[in-house]
A and B are shown apart, each in its own frame.
Chain A
Amino acid sequence: MSDSEARTAREEWGSRFGFLMAMLGAMVGAGNIWRMPFTTGENGGGAFLVAYILLLYLIAVPGLMAETMIGRYTNHGVIGAFRTVLGSKRAQGLGLVVLIVNVALMSYYAPIIGWALYYAGHSVLMTFTQPGFQPQAFWEGFINNPTLVVGMHTVTMAGLAGVLVFGIRRGIERVVKWMIPLLVVALVAVSIRGITLPGGMEGVAFVFTPDWGYLTRGSTWVAALSQALFSTGLGWGIALTYGSYLSRYDDVPLGGGLFTAIGNTSIGLLAVFATFPVVFAFGLEPSAGSNLLFISMAQVFPELPGGSLWAIVFFVSFFFATFTSGLGITEVAVTTVSEETRLSRTGAVLASCGAIWVFGLPSAYSSAFLGQMDFMFGSFGLPLATLSIIALVAWKFGPERARVLDLNRNAGIYVGAWWNSVVKYVIPVVMVFILGYGVYSSIGTANQRLMLLGVAFMAGLVVVSTLVMSVVGDEPPSGSAAVPGGDD
């Protein structure tokens, strides 16, 4: 089947800007806003940024190029991509692993979007600047009210379904084209407000003053690796799925790789400027994580001149960051379900969003359950999914084939042969290291049992997915089974 034949039946992005904003929106999420500032400050400030930027360019950029490229080349979602390249029914099980990890991640991310929506709504109602407002009590009143949290989870999934049902161009693209620019403008505005506060520059000093001693600590590099790999969305299947909607004339390495990774981190850096000056100006605890947003920041706005407006700007932009990630994560399931079943796009959206809603109910109901899901799937599921996708490109398709045939086709930048060894050796080694480090650092801690459960669950997931796909998987395209692995 020729390229053009394969592409006429599939929707494509309407514009380059739409694709870039969708990629950026999918990768920028809650972690960029509440994790990056704290991780930077806690790991040597400027020294951490040196390690992080180095690893970002060395690993995340080439990895995202590989993932986007395999999506464009195969023109399929995760299971279809594995079927096209691996050429066996059983091997499609790895695609199913990526899909299940993705659905699991979204099941506990959707309630977080619901939290962001609740706070965005209350910022518009100017609740945070009402006399006598108590941020701690407000948060606890919300999170301990099952009707409210499950309700917000439901509204979130309905909202995502309402956008996704319109497809790539009229749904996702139409929304992200204004949400992401507004997010950037809002973060810049909050940053300017923050650094002009008395004491705000202390937050900047905390984050950016380099303590070079941290570069000799293993923990700094592990933190930088985790942040560079996971905050950029590498291996979630999103870049593969969004890449599958690129046209043959579109570039992959400049937009799918460089812009996505660097743009995503740039928003993380903006979040540093938006939160840390405020944190220091008001003497808040910088390591508060999600509490930093929902309790500490909410406490600040009544004391700021024009606090109601700043609360709206901050919480609505935070909601945009999480919602656009939700679109990307859910689209992985929607694309795959619509390809692998006889369901229409609308049917696939309803099935995917319905399943995520059901699986998300325990996480919506219990923050402790949400934390356990995050530990299991964030620590073990994501590295497994990333390894699967990178192995598909590097060890089966072959990096040299990928680079020469497709990556450099219609590319905005030329990618040299250095890329091959990064994708084939460096990224898999790093992923295995992170998996191993996750196991090692959990031994003897309260998480040990959960870690063992996570490892056993992921191993079982691979076995069961392989068996399931060997029974229900579609026959691979003729000839693909004969393709040797790597560049052999």
Chain B
Amino acid sequence: MALSTLTWVSMLVSLLLLPGVAAAVLVRSLRTEERKLALLREQDDIDSYSPRAFSDLRGWIRANPDDPYAPIARRRYNECVRSLRAIDEPHYDWSDEQIARLELVDE
């Protein structure tokens, strides 16, 4: 039985959006872990936030200084800053200029 064009399109789009995406995510996730492990072996530490996620964290700490979770947020913020200063190669795409501008916050 010959399938109609619409059926072929429907099937191929489903295959692309489900197994296609799942396979791509699996490969990306495993590669990322491989790179994290390699960096941890070399440097004993890695940066824990991407520049964008870090910017969100900084904004949240400024907006919620008295939040019960603020001490944890500040600790994680400073931990990331210290890691970025200590390591040679960040996991996320931090530039040297961005790292140089980072400051610790009072815990």
Indicate if the CB atoms of A254 and B14 lie closer than 8 Å: no
Quick one: given A16-B33, A249-B36, A251-B29, are A405 and B10 in contact (CB under 8 Å)?
Answer: no
Contacts of A204 in B (CB 8 A): 3, 7, 11
Contact mask A1-17 → B, CB, 8 Å, 1/0? 01000000000000111
B76 contacts partner chain A, Cβ-Cβ < 8 Å: yes
B72 contacts partner chain A, Cβ-Cβ < 8 Å: yes
Contacts of A250 in B (CB 8 A): 33
B73 contacts partner chain A, Cβ-Cβ < 8 Å: yes
Most chain-B Cβ atoms within 10 A of its Cβ — which of A204, A259, A482? A259
Contacts of B56 in A (CB 8 A): 403-404, 408
**Residue of A46, A400, A401 touching B7 (CB-CB under 8 A):** A46
Indicate if the CB atoms of B76 and A405 lie closer than 8 Å: yes
B99 contacts partner chain A, Cβ-Cβ < 8 Å: no
Quick one: given A208-B14, A262-B21, A269-B15, are A255 and B29 in contact (CB under 8 Å)?
Answer: yes
**Residue of A248, A263, A479, A480 touching B22 (CB-CB under 8 A):** A263
Quick one: given A199-B1, A265-B18, A404-B73, are A254 and B57 in contact (CB under 8 Å)?
Answer: no
Contact mask B20-64 → A, CB, 8 Å, 1/0? 011001101110110010001000001011101100110010000
Indicate if the CB atoms of A209 and B18 lie closer than 8 Å: no
**Residue of A248, A265, A483 touching B68 (CB-CB under 8 A):** A483
A147 contacts partner chain B, Cβ-Cβ < 8 Å: no
Indicate if the CB atoms of A259 and B6 lie closer than 8 Å: no
A410 contacts partner chain B, Cβ-Cβ < 8 Å: yes
Quick one: given A269-B18, A409-B48, are A20 and B29 in contact (CB under 8 Å)?
Answer: yes
**Residue of A16, A53, A202, A410 touching B17 (CB-CB under 8 A):** A53
Contacts of B53 in A (CB 8 A): 404, 408-409, 411, 414
Assembled-state Cα–Cα distance A229/B4 (Å): 31
Quick one: given A262-B18, A405-B76, A410-B48, are A254 and B68 in contact (CB under 8 Å)?
Answer: no
Give the shortest distance, in Å, between A415 (CB) and chain B (any CB): 8
Count B-side interface residues using an 8 Å CB cutoff. Answer: 40
Count A-side interface residues using an 8 Å CB cutoff. Answer: 47
Give the shortest distance, in Å, between B42 (CB) and chain A (any CB): 14
Contacts of A484 in B (CB 8 A): 68
Q: Per DSSP, are chain A's interface residues mostly helix, strand or loop, or mixed?
A: helix
Indicate if the CB atoms of B19 and A408 lie closer than 8 Å: no
Give the shortest distance, in Å, between B68 (CB) and chain A (any CB): 4
Q: Return the chain B residue nearest A415 by Cβ.
A: B53
Contacts of A49 in B (CB 8 A): 10, 14
Q: Return the chain A residue nearest B67 by Cβ.
A: A401
Contact mask A440-462 → B, CB, 8 Å, 1/0? 00000000000000000000000
Indicate if the CB atoms of B22 and A266 lie closer than 8 Å: yes
Indicate if the CB atoms of B7 and A259 lie closer than 8 Å: no
Assembled-state Cα–Cα distance A405/B58 (Å): 10
Assembled-state Cα–Cα distance A16/B34 (Å): 9
Contact mask A177-218 → B, CB, 8 Å, 1/0? 000000000000000000000010110110011100000000
**Residue of B10, B21, B36 touching A209 (CB-CB under 8 A):** B10
Give the shortest distance, in Å, between A432 (CB) and chain B (any CB): 28
Assembled-state Cα–Cα distance A16/B28 (Å): 11
Indicate if the CB atoms of A482 and B68 lie closer than 8 Å: yes
Assembled-state Cα–Cα distance A250/B46 (Å): 12
Most chain-B Cβ atoms within 10 A of its Cβ — which of A199, A202, A262, A270? A262
A45 contacts partner chain B, Cβ-Cβ < 8 Å: yes
Indicate if the CB atoms of B18 and A53 lie closer than 8 Å: yes
> A249-B48, A259-B29, A265-B18 provided; 12 other pairs, C-beta below 8 A?
A16-B30, A20-B30, A46-B7, A209-B6, A251-B33, A259-B26, A262-B18, A262-B21, A408-B53, A412-B28, A414-B53, A480-B68
Q: What are 21 contact pairs spanning A and B, CB under 8 A?
A: A17-B30, A46-B6, A46-B7, A53-B14, A53-B18, A201-B3, A205-B3, A208-B3, A209-B7, A210-B7, A255-B25, A259-B22, A259-B26, A263-B25, A266-B18, A400-B60, A401-B67, A404-B53, A408-B56, A408-B57, A411-B50
Chain B positions within 8 Å of A, measured between CB atoms, are 1-4, 6-7, 10-11, 14-15, 17-19, 21-22, 25-26, 28-30, 32-33, 36, 40, 46, 48-50, 52-53, 56-57, 60, 67-69, 72-73, 75-76
